[in-house]
Structure 1
Amino acid sequence: MLKISKLTKRYGSGDPVLKELDLTVEGDQLTSVIGSSGAGKSTLLRCINRLVEPTSGSIDLNGTEFTTLNRRSLRIARRRIGMVFQGFNLIDRLTVMENVQSGRLGYISTWAALTRRYPREDIRHAYELMERVGIAHYANKRADELSGGERQRVGVVRALMQRPEILLADEPTASLDPKTSEQIMSLLRDLASELKLPVIINIHNVAEAKEYSDRIVGMRYGRIIFDGLPARLGKAEMDEIYAGVPAQDRAQAGAAA
């Protein structure tokens, strides 16, 4: 279970980006976080694994308080949080298998990583995951030879190679075409259920969030102003979340709401 309490993030002397935010996520839920640009969605995700340092508050993952960990302890604890990035964050010159195995770097020796001598169990598990997401036949192909959707699937498998306790995805479909976006969202929903893994997605596309999520969290100005089932997200709730956003931008965010 992830329990966030009174989480605040302030950059310099400006207004807080996150304002005493409370959020609990558990089970095999896929939770989508929506809101306009500047609402604090990406900052929230990056505070969870301390890619961004919180100003104050608590982030507890299954009994471990992340905000108080020193650098060494944090490096070890981060293995428990998988992260999928909008820009894929792959090493183009490496093969799919080598990119996937980078998810195990926190578990194997530097020598094994440098010489590509991956443990047999890690290779077996990688093939299982790649087969599950449909990229096993690309194992020896360079990452820069793949399409956007294929690259994102590599990113998903790399995160799952950590055997994480929670999976975070920061705009995982933003760089993809509509059909591929739906495929990735469907994949993440199915993996959450199959692996009993809580998944939190920061997403702009409200229609996809409503279609594939178990729960939607709506943010505005660093606060949560909606938290509930997708079916409860109607026009009134959208108006509150996206108040002040131009109509055409709001329509692009969620015409189906």
Structure 2
Amino acid sequence: MLKITNLEKSYTKGAPVLKGLNLTTDHRRLTAIIGSSGAGKSTLLRCINRLVKADSGSIELNGTELLSLSGRALQDSRRQIGMIFQAYNLVDRLTVMENVLSGRLGYTGFFRGVFRKFPQEDVDRAYALLKRVGLSQYVNKRCDALSGGERQRVGCARALMQNPQILLADEPTASLDPKTSERIMELIAGITEELDLPVLINLHNVPQATTYADRILGLRHGVMIFDGNPDELTEDWLEQIYAGHEDDLKKQMKVGSAEHDDE
């Protein structure tokens, strides 16, 4: 279970990005976080996985308070949190298999990772995950030779190699073309179902959020103003979530419509 209580984060004094945010998710669910640029979506995920440290509040994952951890305890907690990035964060000169196996570095240690000395069970799991994401034929291909959608599939497999207790995804479809974007969302939604894995995903595309998510959170200026099912996300709610950013909302809705038209 992930439980966030009164989370506060500022990058500049007097300009909070997250303002007393509360969130609990305790079972298999794909939860989409929507909001305009600067609403605090990415900051929320980065606080959860401790890429940035919150100023105050509490983040508990299965009973462990993450904000108080440091050193080895913090490293151990990060192994439990898978992350899919918008910019993929792959090592381009390494192969697909090497990038996926890097998801086990928190378990095998630095030197074993450097010399590619992974246990056979890890290698077998990497093969299985690459088959699941449709890349078994690219095992030995360098990542800089892949398309954007293929690179994001590698990122998904790498995150799952950690055997995480929760999966975070920071706008994983934002850099992809419409059809590829849909396929990546289908993949993430399928993984959620198959592995009984809770997922928190930031989306710039409202139609994707309503299509694939079980739960939608709406952030505005660091405050969660909406928490409900997709069918509860009315136009009135969207106007409140994107107040002052109507052009951003129109663009997102237009992109979503184009994606479905292409299929």
How does the TM-score come out when normalised to structure 2? Answer: 0.95
State the one-letter code of the partner of 1:69.
L
Q: Deviations over 1:14-39 (max 9, x none)?
A: 32100010001121100000000010
1:154 and 2:151 aligned: no
Q: In the TM superposition, what is the alpha-carbon distance from 1:112 to its structure 2 partner?
A: 1.7
1:112 and 2:115 aligned: no
Identity of aligned residues (%): 59
Q: In the TM superposition, what is the alpha-carbon distance from 1:109 to its structure 2 partner?
A: 3.0
- The aligned runs of 1:221-236 (5 Å cut-off) are 221-236=221-236
1:32 maps to which residue?
32
- The aligned runs of 1:100-249 (5 Å cut-off) are 100-246=100-246, 248-249=247-248
Q: In the TM superposition, what is the alpha-carbon distance from 1:117 to its structure 2 partner?
A: 1.8
- The aligned runs of 1:33-48 (5 Å cut-off) are 33-48=33-48
Q: d(CA) in 2 for partners of 1:227 and 1:254?
A: 20
- Paired positions, count: 256
Q: d(CA) in 2 for partners of 1:110 and 1:238?
A: 46
Secondary structure at 1:16 match in 2: strand
Instruction: Return structure 1 stretches of 4+ with deviation > 6 angstroms.
Output: none
Q: Deviations over 1:116-170 (max 9, x none)?
A: 1211000000111111110111010000011000000000000000000000000
State the one-letter code of the partner of 1:148.
G
Q: Deviations over 1:92-133 (max 9, x none)?
A: 000000000000001113332111121100000011111111
1:3 maps to which residue?
3
State the one-letter code of the partner of 1:123.
V
C-alpha contact 2:149 2:180 (8 A) present in aligned 1? yes
Q: d(CA) in 1 for partners of 2:170 and 2:163?
A: 19
Q: In the TM superposition, what is the alpha-carbon distance from 1:197 to its structure 2 partner?
A: 0.3
Secondary structure at 2:38 match in 1: coil
1:82 and 2:82 aligned: yes
C-alpha contact 2:36 2:248 (8 A) present in aligned 1? no
State the one-letter code of the partner of 2:109.
S
Any unmatched runs of 5+ in structure 1? none
Q: d(CA) in 1 for partners of 2:25 and 2:53?
A: 20
1:253 and 2:262 aligned: no
State the one-letter code of the partner of 1:181.
S
Please identify, of 6-15 and 100-109, the stretch whose mean Cα deviation from structure 2 is larger: 6-15
Q: In the TM superposition, what is the alpha-carbon distance from 1:10 to its structure 2 partner?
A: 1.3
Q: d(CA) in 1 for partners of 2:219 and 2:112?
A: 43
Q: d(CA) in 2 for partners of 1:5 and 1:109?
A: 33
Secondary structure at 2:112 match in 1: helix
Q: d(CA) in 2 for partners of 1:111 and 1:229?
A: 46
- The aligned runs of 1:63-74 (5 Å cut-off) are 63-74=63-74
Q: d(CA) in 1 for partners of 2:128 and 2:203?
A: 28
Q: d(CA) in 2 for partners of 1:201 and 1:14?
A: 28
Q: d(CA) in 2 for partners of 1:175 and 1:253?
A: 13
Secondary structure at 1:168 match in 2: strand
Q: d(CA) in 2 for partners of 1:153 and 1:200?
A: 17
How does the TM-score come out when normalised to structure 1? Answer: 0.97
Cα-Cα RMSD: 1.2
1:53 maps to which residue?
53
